[in-house]
Chains A and B, each alone.
Chain A
Amino acid sequence: MNANQQPLLKIDDLRKSFGQANILKGIDMAVNKGEAVAIIGPSGSGKTTLLRCVNFLETYEEGSIRIDGQEVGYRDGGNRQRRGETDLARMRAETGMVFQSFNLFPHLTAAENVMLGLTKVRRKPKQEAREIAEHWLKRVGLDHRIDNLPSELSGGQQQRVGIARAVAMEPKILLLDEITSALDPELVNEVLDVVRQLAEEGMTMLMVTHEIAFARDASHRIVFMDDGKVAAEGPPKELMAQAGSNQRLDAFLSRFRTSHLH
């Protein structure tokens, strides 16, 4: 996290609305290469929408999102011209995404889920793609589930396939959207352990999470979003310390103090 290096992801004054409803109200954020940034905040504050904009699964009206200096979704030059579909696909391949609801392809096995992007987008030969898929599925602890269909896997296993599918593409940045919130409590840790390891290995990550303890331990920085804005941010310890002076943050965190934090 060299101070004079340009951030990998840079978001400036991002605004987004659905019809009349303003959801993102001017977000500024930067993520450096190798940094793991956690986003916390109450439900409905726009966390998912923000991640979806970064991958251009949602369009945005104002502001800019840049990855490695390239504008996401729109042609460089600032005239809000949407990129062509091929160009969009190429850029999306540079950002990996793991979804709350897994979203595996149900007709493909674990290995085939991982291989699809490798063969069709990265144009790797089948044999090589298979090796990469096996490598990553082993990394997430699924050695024995490589040729199983999603329907034959537990939620935790499905989500680990989801992670393998995303990281196998070697994205510049990995976006994770509350990836454990659909899981039974006893399956949460097997997934978080994988993410923690990726963070330690220097994978650049932007992760929305409601696991405050995990955010505190596994991220370099925490961003607290509230009502479509960044309401506080800083390294985990500093952020937690701000709770005294930030009423919204204090209210949000207090919910976890009793239950999750020990």
Chain B
Amino acid sequence: MGYHLNFNLIWRHFDKLWQGLVLSLELAVVSILIGAAIGLLLAVWYVSAGKVVRAAISAYVEFIRNVPLILLVYIVFYGIPTVVDFAYSPTASFIGTLSLYSGAYLVEVFRSGLEAVPRGQLDAGKAIGLTPWQRLLYVRLPTMTRITLPALSNTFISLFKDTSVASVIAVPELTYGAQWINFNTFRIVEVYIVTTIMYLVTGYGILFGLRQVERRFKVER
């Protein structure tokens, strides 16, 4: 083997990776916020709605869960602008896709969380005269949040990794930065070693932080 590891070129272009990492995190954060809004809205709608709405929400969830993310990214970025005359940046398009994607997963998370709130608590809320909205806000959602926090954390970690798919439409996130360095320096091994470590360290950092948050919620209130 005549291959000698040489990281010098990687360090010279490290800002590409660093900026990529920052963008990856931003994509994940924005997408999970929008996705959580979509998920929560649909979950609340689902548990209180009739058959038709439930079927429609289930169809959305099933569609997203059974189509590979990369295909969704292509559909949203190339497909939609072709059919309807409309254009958006790769980044905006990807955020839209990842939001819809995480939204579908979070509908399920929130729905089961809402249904896991014990009936007795809802009865108690009714008995003191809370209206349905107040019961949702002050009884169901707080308990649901505690129940779903671990699943939310896991979803966020997955989403962070999934941001790498954005490289296929040239969004300059971490994986795209790695590819760029690879094409320009041919240090394929070194760049992917560094990139992998960056994903790992960041992923574990997020996990650690979120577990602290979960613990605080569990014990204190």
Contact = CB atoms under 8 A, between A and B. Distances in A.
Contact of B120 (A103, A120, A149): A103
A6 B136 CA distance: 37
Interface string A101-121: 111111111000000110011
A52 to B, nearest CB: 8
B221 A107 contact: yes
B221 A149 contact: yes
B131 interface: yes
B127 A90 contact: no
B65 interface: no
Nearest to A108: B221
B215 interface: no
B195 to A, nearest CB: 41
B146 interface: yes
A108 B130 CA distance: 15
A42 to B, nearest CB: 23
Contacts of B134: 89, 120-121
Contact of A99 (B124, B129, B139): B124
Given A99-B120, A103-B121, A106-B143, A121 B128 contact: yes
Contact of B129 (A90, A103, A107, A109): A90
A25 interface: no
A171 B131 CA distance: 17
Given A90-B129, A116-B138, A120-B130, A103 B124 contact: yes
B220 to A, nearest CB: 8
Contact of A57 (B121, B127, B138): B127
A95 interface: yes
Interface string B115-142: 0001011011111111110100011001
A76 to B, nearest CB: 19
Contacts of B123: 57, 97, 99, 103
B129 A92 contact: yes
Contacts, number: 75
Given A106-B143, A107-B143, A107-B221, A95 B127 contact: yes
Interface string A60-96: 0000000000000000000000000110011111111
A99 B142 CA distance: 21
Nearest to B135: A89
B126 A55 contact: yes
Contact of B128 (A106, A117, A149): A117
A109 B130 CA distance: 18
A115 to B, nearest CB: 10
Interface residues of A, number: 31
A85 B126 CA distance: 10
Interface string B89-129: 00000000000000000000000000000101101111111
Given A107-B146, A107-B221, A169 B128 contact: yes
Interface in B189-220: none
A94 B128 CA distance: 8
Contacts of B139: 105
Contacts of B143: 105-107
Q: Taking each of A93, A102, A103, A109, which has the highest tally of chain B beta carbons within 10 Å of its own beta carbon?
A: A103
A85 B127 CA distance: 13
Contacts of B138: 105, 116, 120
A166 interface: yes
Interface in B21-64: none
A165 interface: yes
A117 B131 contact: no
Nearest to A121: B129
Q: Taking each of B127, B138, B146, which has the highest tally of chain A beta carbons within 10 Å of its own beta carbon?
A: B127
Given A86-B131, A93-B128, A121-B130, 7 more contacts: A55-B126, A101-B120, A105-B121, A105-B124, A106-B121, A107-B142, A120-B134
Interface of A: 55, 57, 85-86, 89-97, 99, 101-109, 116-117, 120-121, 149, 165-166, 169
5 contacts: A86-B131, A96-B127, A97-B123, A103-B118, A109-B221
